[in-house]
Amino acid sequence: MRLCKELQSAMNAEGIWSDGEARAMSLLLLEEVAGLTTADVLMERDDELPDDIKMRLRSMAERMSKGEPVQYVLGFQRFCGLKIGVAPGVLIPRPETEELVMLIADEVQKRTNSSKEIRILDIGTGSGCIALALKHLLGEKAHVVGWDISDDALRIAQANAEALALDVSFEQHDILASESYDEQFDIIVSNPPYICESEVREMERNVIDYEPEQALFVKDEDPLLFYRTIAEKGKSLLRTGGRLFFEINRRFGEATKSLLENKGYCDVQLRKDSFGNDRMMSASWGWIMKME
């Protein structure tokens, strides 16, 4: 218990975290690094750890005292039952994105023949969390491709695929560039940059200071840039009856819905996350998904 309190105190050295946050993260470090449960800590088994493990934990706590996210310190985030490697070159996967993945997986299971191949494209794949989770959940019938503009993101995503032994292809593409595409997909999913630059003042410092700006922010004067571009290119990238899924900025739910309807998409649905925020959007190109 003394070590847990020491880690908590070290994290609070600069006053960035609340006492509750520091305690929760100390327990997380002890669980992930040393395999100790909260019950073990209460029984003071953290004080019995080898010196090298204690030194490692103290070093991690010092990094976190400066605001570095615990996921970067650990080097991974658990996501849809997978251990996804993360580093400052990619966004840390969020619970809301897990909800998007589960929405897609549920729709695919309900609408498709179990033996039919489903082609899925993840645009702006980052760590590969969406692409890899969908492959994990849907299995052999899912042919999954992830696109990103970032060399760092593609390197991390590929390393995750290899570590998890999941057959997902990752390719370098800039969705905003003028490119022609030969492939077509049954599903396109994207969690693109959607935070307006003016929203920076509302965000936590550890996000702004450590997570990649390129994956977070979009200019105030064109907040739907990526949605408009993907929706337009989706007309040729999607097979007839294919489905488009987005994670969105809760401020622009109705605007994103109108954009898709004006682009000719059907069955456009705005969905809330578990916190009650407008967070997910789905739409059909050609009315229904025909994959039987």
Question: What pLDDT digit, counting tens, does each position of 206-226 carry?
Answer: 888 899 998 999 999 999 999
The two tokens of residue 60 are 């991690």
Give residue-wise pLDDT tens across range 73-108: 999 999 999 999 999 989 999 999 999 999 999 999
Query: Is pLDDT of 135 > 70?
Result: yes
Give residue-wise pLDDT tens across range 241-255: 999 999 999 999 999
Could you tell me which of 5, 98, 88 has the C-alpha nearest to residue 46? Answer: 5
The pLDDT, as a whole number, for residue 251 is: 94
The two tokens of residue 216 are 């977070």
Query: Is pLDDT of 64 > 50?
Result: yes
Which of the two residues, 112 and 104, has the higher pLDDT score? 104
Q: 238: burial class by Cβ within 10 Å (0-12, 13-18, 19+)?
A: buried
Query: Is pLDDT of 156 > 70?
Result: yes
% of the chain with per-residue pLDDT over 70: 97
The pLDDT, as a whole number, for residue 287 is: 60
The pLDDT, as a whole number, for residue 139 is: 93
The pLDDT, as a whole number, for residue 209 is: 87
Query: Is pLDDT of 179 > 90?
Result: no
% of the chain with per-residue pLDDT over 90: 82
**Whole-prediction pTM value?**
0.93
The pLDDT, as a whole number, for residue 113 is: 67
Query: In the chain, at which residue ranges do the beta strands (DSSP E only) sit?
Result: 76-79, 82-85, 118-123, 142-148, 168-172, 185-190, 195-196, 217-218, 238-247, 266-272, 278-285
The pLDDT, as a whole number, for residue 253 is: 96
Helices (H) and strands (E) in the chain, counts: 12, 11
Provide CATH code, domain 76-285: 3.40.50.150
Query: Is pLDDT of 114 > 70?
Result: no
Cα–Cα distance between 70 and 62 in angstroms, integer? 11
Domain residue spans of the chain: 2-67, 76-285
